[in-house]
Structure 1
Amino acid sequence: MPHYLIYFNQQWVGDHDEAWFDSRVEPSKAVVREMRDQGVLVYAGGLVEELEEAASADATSGELVVTDGPYVETKEWLGGLTIVDVPDDESARRWAGRVAEGCGWPQEVRRFKAGSLQAIVRGG
């Protein structure tokens, strides 16, 4: 089956108080449990928000250069991702919608190119 990436940029989350974020924990966990129970979950997780904790690796010059911080300065950056193993675009879009409902912010969904996902590690 094809694999799909469901993701959001941190800036799509919006400004909310702590109580609002707390209210999203259980609905988000419920969607992940549902994906796991239906056998479609490959991975789901959020990323650390502090960009100073990021690092970049670049070998385009022929020499590997690893630096602190993001590769490019940008106004948006990845906030979290989910990978699902589902039969078609319609199923992937349905799960993206469920994730968006659970989290409370928009999600984008894209199919991996055939053969591009070399290894799948299923976690618990």
Structure 2
Amino acid sequence: MSHYIIYFNQQWVGDHTAEWFASRGPLANAVVSEMRDAGVLVFAAGVDEDVDAAVTADATSGSVAITSGLYAPAEQYIGGLTIVDVADDDAATEWGGRIAEACGWPQQIRRVY
């Protein structure tokens, strides 16, 4: 079994009504439940959209410096992630497709070593 991260950048979500988002929640929760039932779910969550609430730990100077905010400005930032433990790329891709369909926006699928 191998671990894969399935994630999206917040900017991929697009502009939608509150009703549209409310309609997607049950679909996404159903896929997460299916992953749990299948025994492949390691972790799934959305990431706080307030990038100003981020904290950076940087030890590149030889000592750890803790600062508020992002390490570097970015056009895109992660909006949510799911970690699965599956047999192969095909299984990870299948789950990623199901998440994309349920959420209504693209998902990136990458193996984690």
User: Same fold by TM (over 0.5)?
Assistant: yes
Mind listing any 5+ residue stretches in structure 2 that lack a counterpart? none
Q: Distance in 2 between matches of 1:89 and 1:41?
A: 15
Structure-1 separation of matches of 2:65 and 2:109: 31
Q: Cα distance, 1:105 vs. partner?
A: 0.6
Superposition RMSD in Å? 0.5
Aligned residue type for 2:5: L
Partner of 2:108: 108
| Corresponding residue number in structure 1 for 2:83 | 83
Aligned partners of 1:93 and 1:8: how far apart in 2?
Answer: 14
CA displacement at 1:46 relative to structure 2: 0.1
Secondary structure of 1:62's match? coil
Partner of 1:62: 62
Q: CA deviation at 1:38?
A: 0.3
1:9 maps to which residue?
A: 9
Q: 1:34 and 1:28 mapped to 2: Cα distance? A: 10
1:40-62, Cα deviation, whole Å (9 max, x unpaired): 00000001101111111110110
Give me the whole-angstrom Cα distance separating, in 2, the residues matched to 1:55 and 1:102.
31
Partner of residue 74, structure 2: 74
- 1:57 partner amino acid: A
**Counterpart in 2 of 1:53?**
53
Q: Percent identity over the alignment?
A: 58
Higher strand share: 2
- With normalisation by structure 2, the TM-score equals 0.98
Runs of 4+ aligned residues of structure 1 deviating over 6 Å after TM superposition are: none
